[in-house]
Amino acid sequence: MENHPVRLAHFPITLFASVMGLSGLALAWKKAGHVLSLSYDPYLLFAGLSAAVFILLSLLYTLKFVRYAGEVKAEFMHPVKANFFPAVSISLILLAALALDISEMLAGILFSLGAILQLSLTLVMFSRWVFAENHQNHHLTPAWFIPVVGNVLIPIVAVPLGLDELGWFFFSIGIVFWIVLFTILMHRLFFLDPMPLKLAPTLFILIAPPAVGFLSYLQLNGYIDNFAQVLYGVALFLTLFLLMQVHRFRKLPFFMSWWAYSFPLASISIASLEYFRQTQYQPVFWIAISLLALATVVVMGLFMRTLIAMRNNQICVPE
């Protein structure tokens, strides 16, 4: 017990990526229930689990802030870790999407908190990128997508709440700066030193912007047009590319960064299910089923590996 306060000081903000993975998988099973008439039981299970994990993590991180404010400040100023703080606001948006079936008021509250926090963190991080003088090439990772490109998620909840104009505002931010950051990141990956092994799983984050962008654009636009097809095509290509690298990823030791596999796989699963629903294109049916099964196995495996790591005192320790 005496070690618990020390471990709390090292409680990582990156753990909120687990909420994104769990809630994303819940939404994938909800979509599967709607499109394929599959059981809603997995949806209810993962929705409840994601809410419980978010509450637990929020309480622990708040306690960390109260007792170890300096550690939180250091994490927020870190050139890589800071990009995971918007995982909190994105988790709120995803929980709002899950809450739409329960209470529009609850969904509205969660959405408002998430949207305000997301915009605030976007402005802070964007200002830091523009005016900071100590950025180095190795600081740039796909995690940089989270603060700004995370805005592309907002329309998924904004439109059902009747906030279409707000949805377009956030979508515009996310989609434009996805293109900018994607270009910069490709230059880093093509021409500079490879990323550290610990951050290699964050490459899966590349899938999320076009996959979520596809879903958000459909909420705003209402149907699949040429732009939507481009977004889905890019997301599917990046998914195939990264799945081809499985031999590289399976050699990595377990890090919390493994949770970067989860939300992107859930996102492309939902996008594939929706693409099939609107087009009835049979090959996409098999792609959607396969990706949903893969996302489920990956998220459940990550959840179990995280519990084992906690039991073995491998999490919340100094790096």
* 8 A C-beta contact, residue 262 and residue 303: no
d(CA 155, CA 169): 9
User: pLDDT class for 67, splitting at 50, 70, 90?
Assistant: very high
Model-wide pTM > 0.85: yes
Residue of 145, 99, 92 lying closest to 122 (CA atoms):
145
Helices (H), the chain: 4-9, 17-36, 41-67, 69-77, 86-99, 104-131, 145-149, 155-158, 164-191, 208-221, 226-243, 246-249, 262-279, 282-311
What domains lie within the chain, and their CATH numbers? 4-311 (1.50.10.150)
Residue 1 confidence (pLDDT): 39
Residue 319 confidence (pLDDT): 67
Residue 7 confidence (pLDDT): 80
Residue of 268, 247, 262, 267 lying closest to 301 (CA atoms):
262
Residue 227 confidence (pLDDT): 96
d(CA 58, CA 16): 9
Cα 140 to Cα 59, 152, 303: the distances in Å are: 30, 20, 27
The 10s digit of each residue's pLDDT in 116-150 is 999 999 999 999 888 876 667 667 888 888 998 88
Cα 91 to Cα 15, 123, 140, 164, 219: the distances in Å are: 11, 18, 23, 21, 19
Comparing 311 with 216, the larger pLDDT belongs to 216
